[in-house]
């Protein structure tokens, strides 16, 4: 299994534990490789931390400009619709 | 949310950020990226007790913000859309105008870099291991 294959499999396994069943070579490696187990665990915890974070508030001026841009785009896409 | 709305929001946010930094506008698209170029992990260790209990919430938030801000824009945006906002790979690719393969490579790059930075702060040095194993088999995975 090349390093490139390992990294590809790593991404899939982090997203979906069941992907391990499809990649027996990576699963076998992971079972016997503590560094790789730690990396998978670290990444899962990293994602959990960011997901659990509070949403970033949008500055009011940004909100106004964003709404204006959305309105303009909506008008462009649906010229007959009333906003 | 419709993908085109996301695309507007994303482009708008990216432009605003780059304008703020005084940087020239460049496309986030690039030639096809490869998993072979993703840097390997250097500092590998178990994390100490749950991060929330080992540092104040504000301190942890600052650490997360800093690590995310230090990512290259093109990796950060994929991580935010995929792992924080929960978009699928396909939705992320469509929103950003990237190939699915590029999304996957950029996502892994972002994940690995964030992992490295956070583990340096949160890792237990006593459990540190060296990434010294070799992946020698040249045979395909499947």
Predicted ipTM of the assembly? 0.75
How many other CB atoms are there within 10 angstroms of residue B117's CB atom? Answer: 19
pLDDT confidence bin for B115, thresholds 50/70/90 = very high
Q: How many domains does chain B have?
A: 1
Q: What end-to-end distance do the CA atoms of chain B give, in Å?
A: 36
Residue A5 has pLDDT above 90, yes or no: no
Q: Would B114 be classed as within a structural domain?
A: yes
Q: Would B7 be classed as within a structural domain?
A: no
Residue B59 has pLDDT above 70, yes or no: yes
Q: Choosing among B14, B69, B117, B141, which should be mutated to test the A contact, i.e. which has the most A CBs within 10 A? A: B141
Cβ contact A53–B64 (<8 Å): yes
Q: Are B10 and B1 in contact (CB under 8 A)?
A: no
Residue with tokens 């950060």: B76
Q: Would B135 be classed as within a structural domain?
A: no
Q: How far apart are CA A27 and CA B98, in angstroms?
A: 30
Q: Over pLDDT 70: what percentage of chain B?
A: 69
- Model pTM score: 0.73
Q: Which of A63-72, B1-10, B73-82 tops mean pLDDT?
A: B73-82
Q: Choosing among A7, A14, A30, A31, which should be mutated to test the B contact, i.e. which has the most B CBs within 10 A? A: A7
Q: Would B132 be classed as within a structural domain?
A: no
Q: Would B62 be classed as within a structural domain?
A: yes
Cβ contact A11–B107 (<8 Å): yes
List CB contacts (< 8 A) between B118 and chain A.
Answer: 42, 45-46, 49
Is the minimum CB–CB distance between A26 and chain B shorter than 8 Å?
A: yes
Q: Which tops the pLDDT comparison, B141 or B9?
A: B9
Q: Would B118 be classed as within a structural domain?
A: yes
Q: Which domain holds residue B111?
A: 37-127
Q: Are A61 and B94 in contact (CB under 8 A)?
A: no
Residue B123 β-bridge partners: B47
Question: In chain A, where are the structural domains located?
Answer: 3-77
Q: Would B58 be classed as within a structural domain?
A: yes
Nearest Cα residue to B72 out of B105, B44, B34, B45? B105
pLDDT in tens, A71-82: 888 888 888 876
CATH of the domain at B94: 1.10.10.10
Q: Over pLDDT 70: what percentage of chain A?
A: 78
Q: Are B135 and A2 in contact (CB under 8 A)?
A: yes
List CB contacts (< 8 A) between A59 and chain B.
Answer: none
The conformational region for residue B3 under phi > 0 = left, psi -120 to 50 = alpha, else beta, is alpha
3-state secondary structure of B30: coil
Which tokens go with B76? Answer: 């950060």
């Amino acid at each position: 299994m090349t390093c490139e294959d390992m990294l590809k499999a790593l991404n899939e396994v982090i997203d979906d534990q069941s992907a391990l069943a499809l990649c027996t070579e990576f699963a076998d490696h992971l079972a016997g490789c503590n560094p790789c187990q730690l990396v998978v665990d670290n990444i899962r915890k990293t994602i959990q931390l960011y997901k659990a974070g509070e949403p970033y508030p949008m500055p009011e001026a940004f909100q106004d400009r964003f709404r204006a841009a959305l309105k303009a785009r909506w008008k462009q896409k649906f010229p007959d619709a009333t906003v | 949310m419709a993908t085109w709305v996301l695309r507007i929001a994303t482009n708008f946010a990216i432009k605003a950020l780059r304008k703020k930094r005084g940087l020239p506008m460049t496309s986030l698209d690039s030639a096809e990226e490869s998993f072979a170029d993703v840097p390997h992990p250097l500092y590998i260790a178990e994390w100490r007790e749950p991060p929330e209990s080992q540092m104040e919430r504000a301190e942890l938030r600052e650490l997360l913000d800093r690590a995310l801000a230090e990512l290259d824009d093109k990796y950060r945006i994929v991580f935010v859309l995929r792992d924080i906002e929960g978009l699928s790979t396909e939705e992320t690719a469509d929103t950003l105008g990237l190939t699915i393969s590029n999304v996957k490579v950029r996502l892994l790059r972002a994940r690995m870099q964030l992992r490295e930075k956070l583990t340096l702060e949160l890792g237990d040095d006593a459990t540190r291991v060296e990434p010294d194993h070799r992946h020698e088999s040249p045979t395909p995975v499947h």
